[in-house]
Chains A and B, each alone.
Chain A
Amino acid sequence: MSDLLYARWLMGTSLAFHIVFAAVGVAMPLFMVLAEWRWRRTGDPVWEDLARRWAKGTAILFAVGAVSGTVISFELGLLWPRFMALAGPIIGMPFSLEGFAFFTEAIFLGIYLYGWERVSPRLHLASGAVVAASGAASAFFVTLANAWMNRPAGFDLVDGAATGIDPIVAMFPPGWAHEVVHVVLSCYVATAFAVAGIHAWALRRDPVNRFHRAALAVVLSVGAVAALLQPLSGDFSARQIAATQPVKLAALEGHFHTERGAPLRIGGIPDVEAAETRFAIEIPFGLSILAFHDPRAEVKGLLDFPRDVWPPVLPVHFAFQVMVGLGTLLAAVAVLFLVLAWRGGWKVPTDRRFLLAVAISAPAGFLALEAGWLVTELGRQPYTAWGVLRTAQAVTPVPNLAAPFWIFTSIYLFLGVVVIALLRAQIAHAPASPDAAAAARGEGA
């Protein structure tokens, strides 16, 4: 592999690894705060037990997220120094603000995790709420920077150099809103369903366990709302991407020929040489409706753009199908949850088939999140900053990038294995019988 390819693989591996922990860091604090809030309101020790156990899991995942995020902040320069030399002064603002959001997140997570017996209940709960809010703020700011890479704005390019820089305009480039909303929602969906799957699996063995029921109630309530909002946000994304990143839209839809009343293609295999997508289920007018809310609207195809600005069509189209497919599946599970909960008088459904469905869909959220990230990153190729700087121009002149690639990849694999083992151990210690939590603390059974 060339050094450019190693650089791309190293950045991709680092981000694919970090993004999981980052998403957990956004959503998990909300869940643990909701559990603690219920405990403070009701005094029921099950909620306290849940909040404390979730806090432990959050501590492990957040630490890995913090250090892997540090790697990325350095890798921006280590791998793409020419991109940072150009983009730093333009998109430094969201990164700076993210730095302060991360500061508050780390400070109040410390107070939350280690302060159970040290601070007042009110301050403890408030600290958790600040962690949840600043986690979402971090995701918000960092996604703004990515939105700029997809659709650079706020400067003029003169002879390869940026002039007339306006960091405020650059902070909110065209299309920022959809990406930010979509990313933040995805953190809640992915984390909620992953956690729900674990507790649903435990409930299948022990259906009266109040601990797991309480857990499922919190995560599926948040997860269901987020999973149902996500298709709406996706629709918003489709329209903004059609307006701001037409090449990416064409690639992710496998859409080669500009046409009015363009069909929506579900599945299929794009053939770049033949400029057509085969074996897809075509829904007439579907793409025009989704992209412009008008069945007769014209949707630009890839052939309208020079071949050397096409992203890799096959993987982008495939990743997009995976994201939408899994997102639809999760929305369906969310509907099922709401219907069952409503018919059961707003109690957590413990129907075994429903629990199986939740357990099976546990990885779907994170797979969809990774697929969506691939869509936006691969869909931007061959550029690092679309239309401004190609990835091949941004890469470092440092040779032998295979070495750092293998070093960090082995570290990530190793950390991944350890985190899974640690979380398994935490879950294995969850209370087995319904009142174990209370009994363990000697509060009666």
Chain B
Amino acid sequence: MPAKPPTTAASKPLAALLVAAACGVVGLLIVVPLVSVFYEAFSRGAKAWWEALAHDPDTRHAIWLSLTVAPVAVAINTVFGIAAAWLVARFRFPGRSLLISFFDVPFSVSPVVAGLALVLIFGRQGLLGPTLEWLDWKIIFSWPGLVLATTFVTLPLVVRELIPVMEAIGPDEEMAAVSLGASGWQVFWRVTLPNIRWALLHGVVLANARAMGEFGAVYVVSGHIAGATDTMPLRVEKLFQEYRQPASMAVASVLAGLALVTLVAKFVIERRLEAESRELEAARSLADSLDHKNVEGAVA
């Protein structure tokens, strides 16, 4: 137990002031907006809220579209995240650190810029436009474009969760499995996946939240065709532009509810991650002390 700083007693009023200020900042910037989404959405009663969501075919379609685009983007992310983390955490090769910094690019590039780049490739005036027209494939203003844009903006989320965890766990167990004759798939399913499952789930939850809520990149590639290419966040914007604030707030409240569920899931998963990290540390220090004893024994 570290000694209490001598300032504690004297700084009580200061501490209270700082806590009040911090709560004021978070309250005004975060809590008030969050509460007001639900207040505005339900201000005309639960029935009106439900009707705004369920009785508008375009809104229904937007919910359906979000529910089909996000899982595909998250699935691509999961496969990519596991492969990329395995590559970077388990092997050393030239260009490795450059590759790692490429993983971060989607975070720093404006989603609008990403959407525009996709339009320049797949749009009618784009690089592959004539080819796609000849094949009669539609990517921009259509479902595949939405998936591509969503995948781009969520790309770092899974891999960024997995790399530190895989590095901390180290390759010992996997190498033991290989030396005992396990195949690559067996190593993955029996050793790697159980070890990284909470980190993977963490990444998937975050990627899903971002995928459901993505606006900028999707806005550029969707073409806003109501009932066809409007996802939930785009529907929020369209209803807002049409001065249908209550309906807009109703869709927004669904997205905000989803964000709250995400945060609760994130909180639970992080506690699991911390527990496993502590277990790993304990196992390591036990192994280290045993090693130490063996060495001492051999010397004696």
Partners in one complex: no
Interface set of A (CB-CB < 8 Å, partner B): none
